[in-house]
């Protein structure tokens, strides 16, 4: 009788143990396909730093202690990015951060659809990506917003009337330069010439000389970091005296630093993110401090978007998206999430509503022109108040 009870106890224990084993929580698996080498590496490396910081912080929380992230190199090649994405999905990643460039994102969307899983781009901006797939999301604004903002600023604020466009013959550059040109000309400006150069171009002196010869008010450069940096240097070498305008591709801190003093006065567009501001929101200040503590440098726009990309995936998981359709619904449930790059919420096309600002390179750093203008106004008001106080003291000296 005792033996039977003992056997029954073992049977119950086995059932309980098996149940616990079968219900054990699966690790949270995410992936990242980033251009860590190749022409877009300046963006991929910065984004990786932001992602890695977010992972490090998340793993300190019991809910995400078992978080797993696998990062692979796309080599700045769209087809490689697509293959690596497929492999990560097969390895069990429930969602992947990728599509750093628009060309990579376009290639990767089909792999996301084949797997029926989420692909979140931290930085692709091509307008044609809006609504391209129910599985594709991005936290970077469309080039439509960016190109339009710069065109209006050039015409209305800088009073520029003639320009030349220098654009690389590739997906991203073609998209944003057209948006800019259409809006600038709609307002009454004139594009004297649009110069599109082949992807393998390494010598820009002849192109810069052509721009200088045309003597436009400005040159608008649509390309990626390395090309923009070289073009700016060559334009100044060819004594181009006009204003240089460009895109958020120039916003990487490493690119501005590499370009050096000739970058001073260059205007570019990006979402509002300035870790050097004296009036940072609490979450941005905390992120900037943690980033400096870890990497001993200031975070740039792309590091911030990498950080937010991982945070959005975690928020989706919190919303109940533990796998498959649940995770997709979790992405759709992200509502007014306070990211370090702004408020994040996806519309029905997988886009976020962010409004680019115009920045200018000043003393080696990007400065929000509107923020700087307000700062100058406040400083002038402060000095005026001080002068008025001094005048009152002179008019009404204290009694002896």
Q: What is the pLDDT of residues 67-98, one digit of tens each?
A: 999 999 999 999 999 999 999 999 999 999 99
pLDDT score of 379: 59
Q: Count of alpha carbons within 13 Å of 114, Cβ hemisphere only?
A: 13
> Which residue has tokens 């080696």?
364
Q: Give Cα 240 distance to the centre of its chain.
A: 30
Residues 6+ apart with CB under 8 A from 194: 164, 165, 167, 177, 181
The low-confidence residues of the chain, meaning pLDDT below 50, are 1-23
pLDDT score of 12: 40
Instruction: Give me 277's structure tokens.
Output: 């501001």
Structural contact between residues 166 and 195, judged by C-beta atoms closer than 8 angstroms:
yes
- What domains lie within the chain, and their CATH numbers? 28-141+281-355 (3.40.50.2300), 144-270 (3.40.50.2300)
Residue 52, φ and ψ in degrees, nearest 5: -60, -40
Q: Count of alpha carbons within 13 Å of 115, Cβ hemisphere only?
A: 27
Q: How far is CA 104 from CA 35, 88, 98, 211, 294, in A?
A: 9, 15, 8, 31, 29
DSSP 194-210: EEEE-TT----HHHHHH
Instruction: Give me 170's structure tokens.
Output: 């590739």
């Amino acid at each position: 009788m005792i033996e039977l009870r003992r056997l029954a106890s073992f049977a119950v224990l086995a059932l309980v143990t098996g149940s616990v084993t079968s219900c054990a929580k699966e690790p949270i698996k995410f992936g990242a396909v980033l251009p860590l080498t190749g022409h877009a590496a300046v963006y991929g490396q910065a984004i990786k730093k932001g992602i890695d910081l977010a992972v490090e912080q998340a793993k300190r929380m019991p809910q995400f202690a078992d978080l797993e992230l696998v990062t692979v190199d796309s080599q700045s090649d769209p087809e490689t990015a697509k293959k690596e994405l497929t492999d990560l999905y097969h390895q069990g990643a429930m969602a992947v951060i990728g599509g750093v460039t628009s060309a990579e994102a376009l290639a990767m969307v089909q792999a996301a659809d084949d797997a029926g899983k989420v692909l979140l781009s931290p930085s692709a901006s091509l307008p044609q990506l809006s609504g391209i797939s129910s599985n594709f999301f991005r936290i970077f604004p469309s080039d439509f917003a960016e190109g339009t903002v710069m065109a209006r600023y050039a015409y209305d604020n800088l009073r520029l009337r003639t320009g030349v466009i220098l654009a690389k013959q590739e997906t991203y550059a073609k998209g944003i330069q057209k948006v800019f040109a259409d809006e600038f000309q709609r307002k009454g400006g004139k594009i004297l010439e649009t110069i599109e150069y082949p992807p393998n171009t390494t010598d820009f002196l002849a192109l810069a000389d052509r721009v200088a010869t045309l003597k436009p008010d400005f040159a608008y450069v649509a390309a990626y970091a390395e090309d923009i940096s070289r073009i700016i240097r060559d334009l100044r070498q060819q004594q181009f005296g006009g204003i240089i305008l460009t895109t958020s591709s120039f916003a990487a801190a490493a690119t501005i630093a590499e370009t050096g003093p000739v970058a001073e006065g260059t205007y570019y567009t990006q979402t509002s993110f300035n870790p050097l501001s004296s009036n940072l929101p609490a979450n941005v200040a905390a992120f900037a401090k943690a980033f400096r503590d870890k990497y001993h440098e200031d975070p740039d726009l792309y590091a911030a978007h990498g950080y937010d990309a991982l945070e959005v995936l975690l928020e989706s998981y919190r919303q109940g998206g533990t796998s498959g359709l649940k995770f997709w619904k979790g992405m759709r449930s992200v509502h007014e999430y306070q990211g370090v790059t702004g408020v994040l919420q996806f519309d029905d096309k997988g886009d976020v509503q962010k409004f680019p600002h115009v920045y200018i390179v000043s003393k080696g750093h990007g400065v929000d022109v509107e923020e700087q203008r307000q700062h100058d106004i406040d400083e002038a008001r402060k000095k005026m108040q001080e002068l008025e106080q001094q005048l009152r003291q002179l008019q009404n000296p204290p009694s002896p």
